[in-house]
Amino acid sequence: MPIDEVLLVNQLVFVGLNGYIAALDRDTGKIVWSNNQLRAGSVTLMLDGDRLIVSSDGFMYCLDPCSGRILWHNPMIGYGYGVTSLASVRGQSPGLAQAAEQSAAASTAAIAASS
């Protein structure tokens, strides 16, 4: 993920409500993007590196966390409906957040040094 996208994602809070997904600015609470193209129902979210994995009433989606654009969709036919549990090595790894912070700090230092 390019450094500017890492910086953007680090500034977002993701919210899922009744088939809607929104990304809010973590400092202001303002909506950065929203997506209403998901199946209505309870929503479960997991940030998995450069992907936002979303489950809504048994339907699975993968969104770009910077734009909210749907990258793929899987209706999970035959698996049922309801609240979903999600897990991923990237989605659970504290090392990802640390790496993103280090990349952001390095980028900021490089920009300051070139000024």
pLDDT tens for 76-103 read 888 877 777 787 777 654 444 555 566 6
* pLDDT attached to residue 35: 94
Residues in the chain, pLDDT under 50: 93-96
* pLDDT attached to residue 95: 44
Give me the DSSP letters along 36-80. --SPSS-EEEEEETTEEEEEETTEEEEE-TTT--EEEEE--TTS-
Instruction: Compute the distance between CA of residue 30 and CA of residue 49 in angstroms, rounded to an integer.
Output: 23
pTM of the full structure: 0.71
Q: Which CATH class is domain 3-110?
A: mainly beta
